[in-house]
Structure 1
Amino acid sequence: MSFLNKHSFFALIYFFLIAFLGVFLRLYQIVDLPADYKFIVHTHSHVALLGWVYTALTTLIYKLYLGNASIEKKYRILFWCTQITIVGMLLTFPFTGYALFSIIFSTLFLFASYSFVWLFIRYTTKEQKRTNSYRCIHVSLWFMAMSSIGPWALGAIMASAGSGSDLYRNAIYFYLHFQYNGWFVMALFGILIHILEKQGIVLEKKSFNHFFWTINAGAVLTFGISLLWMKPPILIYVISGIGALLQFLAMVILAKQLFLVKKRMKKIGPKLFYRLLKTIGLLFLVKLFLQLLGAFPYFAAVISYNMDFVIGYLHWIFLGVVSLALLVFLDYFKLILLTKESVLIYVIGFILTEGLIFYKGFVVWLKVSLAVDYFWYLVLASVVVLIAIGNIFKDQLRKTTG
């Protein structure tokens, strides 16, 4: 097992842990648990974004762009320093929430992430910098760095306005928006386009430029959707709607280009790889539709006061788009082994949990009765996701011992 396979395995450990914590959080609605709910939520979210997604994405980016740069020692040192900060958060957030040591580890993680951005910019070659895929990865890393303005602002906001203020909530939304819609999405597009480029499929330059600038402009403008809970001036709704439409337009531009090379795309990997790419694309289109819907005043008001819709939307992106894409790409580059059985169980778990979360959102919205034993069903659905990730673990162990 290469060191990158080991790093991918670390990412999977975090993925399993957040699935376990997800089940644990669901149980709060049924039984009394000897832990602070908010502290576990903080742990769950930090390990999800910084443990699973960050570790998986940076491992892929290193393999694709820096593997031949003769900086393995530097990268390994940075990797283990980063893991110390993540494990530090994992061991402090459940017991203290946002307190001295968890904040120290969170802050150190930010410095580690900036170091990775520097490594990428410093050691990628001039030839790599001319590719479309590089531009996507490059801007994704800048989105990641920009999103950190939110965490940096929290200290000053807590000291002045307090954790219950609008500024505090908006700082968190700023961070989440540019993580989900900037860093994650553009990095995944970059990896996909890199795969195409290595197969000799290069997107037409003019069309790619239109896609690139449109989707990034949309990512910036749609931050306004995160502010709609405050019922801002109508101009913010208009800007948010324009951003959502721009991202739709970007996907139309990209889809048109990919359709022209459809036959060649089918040959770049196994049938499962191509089918999962189409599935992820469909899930991303649903995400864009929900985003556009959220720009309308009526639906913005409904969503703002319905946490089930918010949680369902975030999990749709995290589990359905980002995590599934990461699993597919890690498997494509042989950093993990992904089987049809594991994928099937995972997708079933995803559909069940999303269906139940959105169902409760509609129950609250329409003011009707919730199904008896609903929370037990949600726990069981979350267990299916946990089993799926556990099954992926089993596949890795079988791979190394086989």
Structure 2
Amino acid sequence: MTDAPSGRTPALSLFRIFLMLGCTSFGGPIAHLGYFREAFVARRGWFTEGAYADMVALAQFLPGPASSQVGMMIGLARGGIGGMLAAWAGFTLPSALALTLFAFGVVRFGGVLGGGWLLGLKAAAAAVVAQALIGMARTLAPDAPRAGLAVGGFVVVIGVTGLLGAPVWAQIAAILAGGVLGLVFLKGAGGGSEAGSGQEEPGLEGAGQGGDGLDIDIGRGVALGALFLFALLLIVPFLVGLDGGLGLADRFYRAGALVFGGGHVVLPLLQAGMVDGGIVGRDSFLAGYGAAQAVPGPLFTFASYLGAAAGGWGGAAIGTAAIFLPSMLLTLGALPFWARLRRAPAMRRALAGVNAAVVGLLAAAFYDPVLAGVFDRPHAVALAGVAFVALVIWKLPPWAVVVTAGVLGGLLL
């Protein structure tokens, strides 16, 4: 698996390597995985193609941000838990810091600059989400049964939220129903999970084949402890209720624990916790989501922006740590059992159902707050249409589209 007998790398060295990647990795999770492969398989030779493919496959199987989880596994393999934390911190810090500073800029200078640039960012966000929704629907709901599950997820979220005013429970219900229905009905459906792009993950086609698969030594006691803590942190806040910083951490933790199907699915989960919960305004939420497309690194650092908007530097730290914590715990918990899980047809059918349902979740978020935040201004609708064409037809990078939309919004709207 590695090119050295010890296979160990100091945590500080891992931090430096991933910090450079965090500063330069534009393009979303598919691109991130390509950068990682070049850095650690092709250039440094730390892993075989088969081992790296297994990391990608496990990250796609688990909820959470796939590229960050692969980075965590690389750090874990080379430096233990300390290396895992160093890899995560290095890759996450640049975008988390940039979005935190952006949140402070919105608060301090938003009124001085006028609202046009924020409206431009909202229009760009609408285009990005529309592109993600189309890509995810093609990949995760490509046939009639899974398309039906996607529509069902949309109906459940919209219906339960409208009737009961409980968006969090509506989303959880849609995810659980998708898993159960997928297990029962998706006999012939593939269970692979993509990142919502419609593209094949690099190396995924070889996952679990041959004799050079993933081999990261995690004791079963550590794994079971991580899984227990994951479940405890997810369930207990529902039972006792939390306020203040702990309540804020719970909202981000829950979002990170339930995200299947790619980073864009974090949008409806964070919307339910932060916008519907009255912590962050809808306009500020969408502007931050648009800005998150313009920075390198993981999209999950959108939580850094929201945390800063809600509670300054402390809120940013809470949001950043809490949204990634489920991924760390699940990665540690799943590794010893991965060889068996990846061959279980029942698990793959259930995951296919969950992934189809989350297409419906993203569709519900596209309906509200994305469209609701843009369609009240005709000029913003036009700008969103141009941004969509720039992304889908002209194939411009998201960061360029977002920056241009913000500038045009400030000048024209």
Common fold, TM-score beyond 0.5?
A: no
Higher relative contact order (CA 8 A, sep 6+): 2
TM-score (norm 2): 0.25
